Each structure stands twice: as structure tokens, then as C-alpha cells.
Structure 1
Amino acid sequence: MPAPEIPLLQARNLRTAFIRDLALRLFAGEILGLHGDSGSGKTLLLRALADLDPNQGEVKLEGSPRESFSGPRWRRQVGLLPAESHWWEDQVGPHAEHWPMEVLAALGFSPQVLDWQTGRLSSGEKQRLALARLLANRPRVLLLDEPTANLDQGNTAAVEAIVRQYLKETGAAALWVSHDPAQLARLARRRAMMKEGRLTMEDG
């Protein structure tokens, strides 16, 4: 018999003030689709996995416990793309060390975007640039909080294609939050639902 597949990211008994004894496994190359009503705990789950909010439980990346990583190193490897990105410098360029130019091009930006003032960015531009900024860290896990919510059909397709290609090339995994059932049906090998701080796997 073949050896069982080892999760890339695994959480056991994950708890916060709202999330209750949650278990989760993400496998290399896959997208796990996550949906649920507003206030069900989806964003709180992503923030707990990224270790941005107080939480308890066991979380491992490629078999190594989260406690063996520094906070910054963990968040580079388990990278969160929030629904609303934050920009603290006046220009785009200083927000990442090595912007992936092929990703910027696929998202419709020229290299000159690095000189743009962050104050002039639209919500859709911020969303696409935040994805490129995240991928510049070469994370092993992508925690994507409605990454296409403010995008038109063309840019949504570009983001989906970029994430799929990144996972294929690197063997990374993604947890993708979306309110669009059609999007999750396109992207996700497995799907899960959050309700009142609890996670229920729907298939797989």
C-alpha cells in the first residue's frame, strides 16, 4: 500500500476566543475552499493560522511545530492575504524585497508600478498588488481572504491562474475564502464551511 500523504499544514485542537477545537489539513499543491456566513469565523481562522491573534493548539508546517519558527519567519512561510491590505510606505516598491515581475505583468502592471504612490491605488489595484507582495516571500501556504472580492471578471481569472500556477510550480497549498460557490467549484479539490467558530469538511 502507498504511504499516506503527509499534510503540508496541519492544525489540531486549534482554539481562540471564538474558534472551537478546530482540526485542519492542507496538502501540497491543493486549494481548500472555505465558505460561511459573515461572522462565522473565516477571517479569525486565517489570522490564527498565521499566528496573528492569540490562539492555542498544535499547528505544524511540513511536520515542524509552529513553536520552532520565529513569528516573522512563520508568517513568511504561512502568508496571509487579508481582505483589506495595508500599505505603510509612500511608494509601492519598498513593500517587498524582490517583487515577482512575471506576476506583476500577469496582473496587468508594468514595472513602473513600483514607483506609484500608494495613496493613488484603487481597492482593486491594492488587492492585486497585495497578492504579488505575498508571493514575493515564496510562502509554503497561502491564506487568501476573499482575494478577488473587488475584482472584475478578467482580473479574477488572472488571480486564479496565478495562484494555481504558483501552487503547481512550488508545491505550496492554499486556503481560499470565498462567498462565490462557482469560484470554489472551479478551484477547490476539497471544500469546508465555517459556522459559529466550527469547521466542517464537506468532501474529501
Structure 2
Amino acid sequence: MAHPLVSLQAVRVRKRGQILLGPVDLALPQTGVTILLGPNGAGKTTLLRTLHGLERVASGQIAWAQDHSLDAQAFVFQTPVMMRRSVLANLVYPQRLAGIPKSHAEAEAKDWAHRIGLQDQVQQSAPRLSGGEKQKLALARALIRAPHVLFLDEPCASLDGAATREIETLLTDAHTQSTRIIMSTHNIGQARRLASDVVFMLDGKVLEYGPATTFFEAPKTPQARAFLQGDIVE
């Protein structure tokens, strides 16, 4: 990998004396959809938060590509956080923070509301939306600024099939528009549909990393093989 997007060298994250992550050595490419897989407690969320700067690194180094700005990142949480405002106001807010004029920000917000199927609910209070609608709004709020890198933590964990399909379509479109996606999921089918490369984690460490086709067809570790077969991995 000539010029990775981000490299981690011996990165550890500790809380209250416990190692939550690491040591992790990992280099992710400039493009693609990286999927983080592993059982509950494997460290997927901690790795995402660490990459995004939400967790303090106890030791080790994280190096981003020289032309990458940390301001050009967005994060969508498993449980979306809605501002106590209308759907439209939720979409306008990140635009206004970036200094976009109000009229232009509102026009883009209405366009995104239409793209996620909420054009008839722009004046509805966002906290009153359904789970799937909230997740679509959270994703649109992240994508409206066209981030270079988008982090997602189990964005479809509590959604039905229809809502999951809509989220995946939005992610595929974003990737087509050059947004780099780094995402955790428990859904192996979703990982197969979206991943260009896979990070398999266990006990806060990266157990396996490589191209998605290689991982799914010929996983290298017995833990990864067991996980893909639906067995309990501890």
C-alpha cells in the first residue's frame, strides 16, 4: 500500500486501567468501504472512535495522509442523536456551522430531505421520527457536507429490511461520490454487499485484515471462520 489514508502503529486505548484497544497496527487504503467485523466487545466501536479522535490514545501513533483534513470527517452513531428541532433544521445546522448562507443551506437541506424520503416531513420534529427515519436523517446530516471520510457504527442494527436497504443505497451513492467509508456491522450479509476490505477484530485487537473477497472466501484464522459460520467466538 503506497500511500495509505491512515496508519496506526502500536495504538492502545485504556480506560480505568483496562486496555480497550490494542496494540493495533493497521493501514487503510485511500479508497473503498472498510467494514469492521467481530463479536460484541471486540473493539469495533472503540477503533472507530479512536480514528475519529473521540478516544484518547494511551500509546502508539495514528498518521493520516498529508492531504487529509480531520475537519472533513463525519460520524454516524448506532443510536442517532437528533436535535430537538425540525427535520429541515437538523439538515440546515451543519451547513450553517460551515458558513453556508441560509438560503443555500435550506435549498440543499430540502434536496436531501427529498433524497431520503422525508420531503413531506421537513417541519416535523426530528425526535418524533421512526427509528429508520432518524437513521436516514442522521446519515443525510453527515453526508450533506460531502465528508472525505464517513465513520458509521452499526447504522442498521435496529432497522428492518426496507430501512436497511435504503441506508445501504445512500452509502453506495456516497461511496460513488468519493466518500471513504469505514463502518462496523454485525450483519455479515451487509458486509458482503458493501465491503471492499474487512477488519476482523477480537478482544480489542485486529485478528485479520484484507480484501473482502479473500476474507469471505478463505478466512485465515479459525476465529474468523467460526464467526462467518455463525458460531459463538470468544
- Shorter-chain TM range is 0.7 to 0.9
Q: Output the CA distance in 2 between the equivalents of 1:29 and 1:102.
A: 26
Q: What's the offset of the Cα at 1:93?
A: 2.8
The answer to whether the Cα contact below 8 Å between 1:7 and 1:28 also exists between their aligned partners in 2 is yes
> How much is the aligned-residue C-alpha RMSD, in angstroms?
2.3
Paired residue for 1:164? Answer: 172
Q: What's the offset of the Cα at 1:100?
A: 5.2
Q: In structure 1, the residue corresponding to 2:21 is in which secondary structure? A: coil
Deviations 1:61-112 (A, max 9, x none): 33358xxx6xxxx2x42221110121233323333324555543332221x4
Paired residue for 1:87? Answer: 82
Q: In structure 2, the residue corresponding to 1:16 is in which secondary structure? A: strand
Paired residue for 1:200? Answer: 207
CA distance 1:167–1:43, change in 2 (3 Å):
same
Say if 2:54 is the partner of 1:52.
Answer: yes
The answer to whether the Cα contact below 8 Å between 1:26 and 1:173 also exists between their aligned partners in 2 is no
Paired residue for 1:105? Answer: 114
Paired residue for 1:38? Answer: 40
User: Aligned to 2:123, which of 94, 115, 118?
Assistant: 115
Match of 1:77, as an amino acid?
A
Q: Which moved more, 1:100-109 or 1:10-19?
A: 100-109
Q: Output the CA distance in 2 between the equivalents of 1:102 and 1:51.
A: 30
Q: What's the offset of the Cα at 1:196?
A: 0.9
The answer to whether the Cα contact below 8 Å between 2:5 and 2:64 also exists between their aligned partners in 1 is yes
Paired residue for 1:183? Answer: 190
The answer to whether the Cα contact below 8 Å between 1:26 and 1:174 also exists between their aligned partners in 2 is no
Paired residue for 1:15? Answer: 12
Say if 2:131 is the partner of 1:136.
Answer: no
Which stretches in structure 2 are left out of the alignment for 5+ residues? 15-19, 96-104, 212-234
CA distance 1:141–1:163, change in 2 (3 Å):
same
Match of 1:78, as an amino acid?
Q
Q: What's the offset of the Cα at 1:151?
A: 2.4
Q: What's the offset of the Cα at 1:51?
A: 0.8
Larger radius of gyration: 2
TM-score using structure 1 length: 0.82
The answer to whether the Cα contact below 8 Å between 1:9 and 1:61 also exists between their aligned partners in 2 is yes
CA distance 1:149–1:103, change in 2 (3 Å):
farther
The answer to whether the Cα contact below 8 Å between 1:34 and 1:177 also exists between their aligned partners in 2 is yes
TM-score using structure 2 length: 0.72
Paired residue for 1:174? Answer: 181
Q: What's the offset of the Cα at 1:30?
A: 0.5
CA distance 1:88–1:109, change in 2 (3 Å):
closer
Q: Tell which has more relative contact order, 1 or 2 (C-alpha 8 A, sep 6+).
A: 1
CA distance 1:102–1:53, change in 2 (3 Å):
same
Say if 2:183 is the partner of 1:155.
Answer: no
Q: Output the CA distance in 2 between the equivalents of 1:83 and 1:116.
A: 22
Deviations 1:10-44 (A, max 9, x none): 33322211111213333233111111111111111
CA distance 1:23–1:104, change in 2 (3 Å):
farther
Q: Output the CA distance in 1 between the equivalents of 2:109 and 2:208.
A: 34
Match of 1:47, as an amino acid?
R
Q: Output the CA distance in 1 between the equivalents of 2:62 and 2:207.
A: 18
CA distance 1:118–1:158, change in 2 (3 Å):
closer
How many residues align structurally? 191
